[in-house]
Structure 1
């Protein structure tokens, strides 16, 4: 492209070389926290967050943004599934123990 000519349609010009970029959030903290909720999906989140940090260090901001979105997706899935899993487990075990107590209580108070 020659100086003074308008850019072609659809062309996006980035910031000049050496200009500071917006910081990219790697979501590493969220990914590490998700380990305690649902580790099978938190591991890909941690790996994507690591790729994001490496891409930022290499100056690849588009790659860093893509890895950041990937880490966010995996961390969000791990969080949602983990919370649902824990709530469901508490309900199942709570109802099971409640039913067991009721059966034990009725057996203790019945007369033969």
Structure 2
């Protein structure tokens, strides 16, 4: 006689205890990049950051780790896009001001 055991669950159908504490959700970083840098990428980062703790509490440890990684990645992308965009804007404004002052 064989019993089916779902993957990721211990003996008797109970889930295994979490391997460690929940991963960082990067919510503060996600909010700051949304406000200061890049709105679309920051919003995606906030969505992933909000999923980390709920997935961890539900026992979806791999999902929580993946959501944490995605939140961090999108926060980095947002920060880089915001900084590059700001640099391009400043260079363009400097170029326009230097051309108009020569007349």
Runs of 4+ in 1 over 4 A off after TM superposition: none
Counterpart-to-counterpart distance in 2, 1:19 and 1:79: 32
Computed over aligned residues only, the root mean square deviation of the Cα atoms, in angstroms, reads 1.9
For structure 2, the residue ranges without an aligned partner over 5 or more in a row are 1-14
TM-score, normalised by the number of residues in structure 2: 0.77
The residue correspondences of 1:5-84 to structure 2 (distance < 5 A) are 17-18=16-17, 21-35=20-34, 36-84=36-84
The one-character-per-residue Cα deviations of 1:59-88 (angstroms, maximum 9, x if unpaired) are 322111010011111111111011000011
Aligned residues: 89
For structure 1, the residue ranges without an aligned partner over 5 or more in a row are 1-15, 104-112
TM-score, normalised by the number of residues in structure 1: 0.71
